[in-house]
Amino acid sequence: MNQSIIREEGLTEISSLFLLQKKGCDRVNRKRKYRIWILWCLGLDLLVIGCMGYRYLDRRIPDEIHVQKEQEIKLEQILEHPLLTFEDAVSVSGTGSYTIGCSIMGVIPFKEIRVIPSESRSVYVSGSTVGIYMETDGVLIIDTGEILSEEGISREPAKNIVKPGDYIMAFNSQIIHSKRELIEDIRALDGEDVEVEVLRNDKIIPLTLTPVKDVQGAYKLGIWVRDNTQGIGTLTFVDEDGRYGALGHGISDIDTGKLLKIESGALYQAEILGVQKGSNGNPGELAGLIRYDSDRVIGSIKKNGENGIYGNFTGPQDQITLMRMPMAYKQELETGPAQILCCVDGQVSAYDAEIVKIDLNHEDTNKSFVIHVTDQELIDKTGGIVQGMSGSPVIQNEKFAGAVTHVFVQDSTSGYGIFAETMLENSGKNQQ
């Protein structure tokens, strides 16, 4: 009896000891897993911090800079940063430029910077409001739609065949220049399949469409198209060769959001009729009048690019504000006071502003710096930056520093800007 009790007590103690050991092992395993989880989190944090640090340095240090030939400037003085060390040796190219390497804290290789000695440049900055008219290269498809057939059935013959953003370049082997030509060709259809050639992502694609006869007995393809656009913007500058730059950003189709591929266009004199003030959540706009008369043409549009519209300025110069001014290279910009030249009441005026942030190597060149309007007169008139002011020159230290490109939707007093040298580089590439 006593032995049985002792045996049972012994078994109970062993079981309890086993349970304690098991709990202890579970506790150790949990601690080990927790430590591993902590290490993973620390590793991930370090990785994120490292990526953010690299991104910060990459934006702070450009891949390429221009310097004036007559200036003896060390790169370290231009791009000084406590974490970066610049090499003493340079690699010279046949174009007169050279590259210099830099590293993080003298240990981790970072990037090579191309330095291009350039002549100092002056341009005629403007700020005048201009009218814009552009015709597309081909006919732009903005959407497809349904057609009520003569049988009373809704059909969409172009669906999943053409895409918004396609340009119709040919119709049954005939080159298409305008929407009018396309409409005339469609009116002549007799129900047979038609062959169209569209430009999509810079490639010509042949497609076949089957027209549908609607309830009025006319054949239709079920596509919505556009072949031109117009609007108000600001002339930024005219260079000594008569080439201009405006807007600081490209013109995209309002429906597709894609940059318009243009065949031709013109700049016109424009008049400001009123201002819809901007506010937080409402960008506002300039209301203007454009008379599309031949005697009001002031230039041709040769290029609609990501960094603005460009072409040849033809005048008359007495109708447009032009002020000669030296250009500032991007590394010359600094946070602090600046001015915006714009026309909001019939004449170009200079308004006080402040450059609050600069990204020398931003992936979107239209957002290279942030500018904040401080002039109460401009804020009272417009609320800050409004649509139509894109292209307004930014002046700092009596040099042409850049142009306004976008307004912040939630802060109408602030927006993005593009460097002057970026626009001038693009203006030299538009001539054929």
How far CA 215 is from CA of 143, 148, 151, 153, 189, in Å, comes to: 21, 6, 7, 10, 15
- Name the residue among 266, 289, 288, 245 with its Cα closest to residue 135: 266
Active site annotation includes 375: yes
Query: For residues 216 and 72, what is the distance between their CA atoms, to the nearest angstrom?
Result: 77
Cβ atoms of residues 189 and 219 within 8 Å: yes
CB under 8 A, 24+ apart: contacts of 83-92: 83/57, 84/57, 84/110, 90/115
Contacts of 54 (CB under 8 A, 6+ apart): none
- Here the tokens at position 375 are 């002039």
Query: For residues 309 and 254, what is the distance between their CA atoms, to the nearest angstrom?
Result: 17
Catalytic residue (one of 128, 390, 392, 414): 390
Q: What's the 3-state SS for 402-429?
A: EEEEEEECCEEEEEEEEEHHHHHHHHCC
Catalytic residue (one of 166, 227, 359, 375): 375
Letter string b/e over residues 364-387, b meaning 16 or more CB atoms within 10 A of that residue's CB: ebbbbbbbbbbbeebbebbbbbbb
Amino acid identity of residue 241, one-letter, is D
Cis before 316? omega within 30 = yes
DSSP state of 366: G
Query: For residues 60 and 357, what is the distance between their CA atoms, to the nearest angstrom?
Result: 11
Catalytic residue (one of 227, 239, 249, 427): 249
Active site annotation includes 249: yes
10 Å Cβ neighbour count for 308? 28
Active site annotation includes 252: no
State whether residue 360 is helix, strand or coil.
Answer: coil
- Name the residue among 17, 233, 2 with its Cα closest to residue 133: 233
Catalytic residues: 249, 375, 390
